[in-house]
Amino acid sequence: MKIELAGSRPTRRAPAENFTGTVWNDPIIQADAPARIVAAKVTFEPGARTNWHTHPLGQTLYVLSGVGRFQTKGGPIIEIRPGDTIWIPPNEKHWHGGTPTNRMTHIAMQESLEGKYSTWMEPVTDEEYNAKLG
């Protein structure tokens, strides 16, 4: 058993090479092998978002607060709110973040495949981000 006490894992700024804008990451768990789960509470300031990316075994997002945006490649932009759960299948290209005027916080959960959780790609352009909702 391992217990991580509140406040023992500092909030960190998400890496600029994978995100646009200000994004905060609060680690929840990164389990030791043979487990594969990693989870974090992620807060996107208004206008902030991930780059396009995929996950080899998929990803689950659970929205805690605020209003956000989510899109899979070629699909509509969807507005997401507290209580929404999104399952992204393995290797589905997508992005998520806050809206232009609202921050959004979600829990992101995914598993690793041979130590890899995500494949990061190009930034979401302002034109893609500001496109009409769904």
User: Which pLDDT band, with edges at 50, 70 and 90, does 29 fall under?
Assistant: very high
Asked whether the beta carbons of 53 and 24 are under 8 A apart, the reply is no
| Paired tokens of 19 | 């995100």
Asked whether the beta carbons of 107 and 71 are under 8 A apart, the reply is no
| Paired tokens of 27 | 């680690």
**Segment holding 106, helix H or strand E:** strand 104-111
pTM of the predicted model as reported, rounded to 2 decimal places: 0.94
Per-residue CA distances from 112 to 7, 52, 55, 58 (Å): 25, 18, 8, 9
30-51 pLDDT per residue, tens: 888 888 999 999 999 999 999 9
Asked whether the beta carbons of 80 and 88 are under 8 A apart, the reply is no
Q: Which CATH class is domain 12-126?
A: mainly beta
68-94 pLDDT per residue, tens: 999 999 999 999 999 999 999 999 999
